[in-house]
Structure 1
Amino acid sequence: MTVTQLTHPVLEAAQRVAVRLQQMEEVKRYRLAEEQVNKSEAVQYYIQTIKQKQKELVHAKHYQKSGYTRQLERELDQLHEQLDHLPIVREYQQSQVYVNDLLQMIKRTLLNSVDCYLSVEGGIAEPSGCGSGGACGCKSKK
C-alpha cells in the first residue's frame, strides 16, 4: 500500500477544507479585491513607475550618483505611500492579512494536532504526546 492510499481519507478531508475556505465570504472578498487591483489602471501605473524608478536607482548606485540616488529613494518612498493609500490597495491588503492569518491559524492547528500524537524525527513517525494532557488528552512526554 502506498502513502497516497494510506492517507487518502486525509487528502479528501483537506480538499473539503480547501473548498469550504474558498466559499468563505472573507476569501471571496480577498479574491475580488485581488482581481480589482490587477485590473486597476491606477495601481498598474504605480507598479510600472516604481519598477522603472527601482531600475534607475540601481544604475544611480552603480555609477555612484549619490544625489540622484537620494532623489530616487525619496520618489520611491512617495510612490509607495501613494500606492498604499489607494482605497482598492488598502482593501486588498486588509483582506490579504485576514486570509493569511486564517491560513496560519489552520496550519498551527493542524501541526499541533498532529504533533500531539506523532513525533517525526529522522523520517520515522514515533507515537508521542504533547506532554500536557491538555486538549489532545495525552499524558506522555516527548
Structure 2
Amino acid sequence: MIPTMTITDTDSTDPIRIAFVCVQNAGRSQMSTAFAEQERQRRGLDDRVEIVTGGTRPADNVHDEVLDVMSEAGFDLSTRTPQEITLAELRTCDYVATMGCSTLEVGEVGESVDVRDWALDDPDGQDLDAVRAARDEIERHVVSLFDELQD
C-alpha cells in the first residue's frame, strides 16, 4: 500500500500534485478538475496543491452535457480544451484519480504514486440527470480527497 501524503507532510516549496485522468479529458476529469480548483481555493491551498488533468486520447472539446450541468453548478468550462497527459507527467504526481476508463495499468506510473480509480460512468451522450448524478458523485470524491489531504 502506498503511504498517504498530506499537506503537513510536504515541504512548502514542494506542492502535492494531483492528476485527474480519463480517456477523452472531456467529461469526468474536467468536472473533477473544476471541483478540485474550487476546493483548493476554498481551503486556501493555492500554493500547496497543484492540479493537472488530461486524457490518453483527448477529444476536441468538453462534452456539451458536461458544460450544461457544470454551468448549473456555477462553473464555466466553455474555454477548457481537452489535453493529452503522459506517463512522465503522471509519475510526477502524488495522486492520480482515474475516472473508470483509464488505460493505465497497475504500477505503470510508479509505486510512489497513489492511483485511485473512481469508477464513474461516462457522461458523453447521457441525459442531463445522469450527468448531474456523475457531477455530484465527482464533487463528493474531490471533497473527500481534500479532506484526506488535510488530515
Higher Rg of the two aligned structures:
1
Structure with the bigger percentage of strand: 2
* TM-score (norm: length of structure 1): 0.27
Larger RCO (CA under 8 A, 6+ residues apart): 2
Structure with the bigger percentage of helix: 1
* TM-score (norm: length of structure 2): 0.26
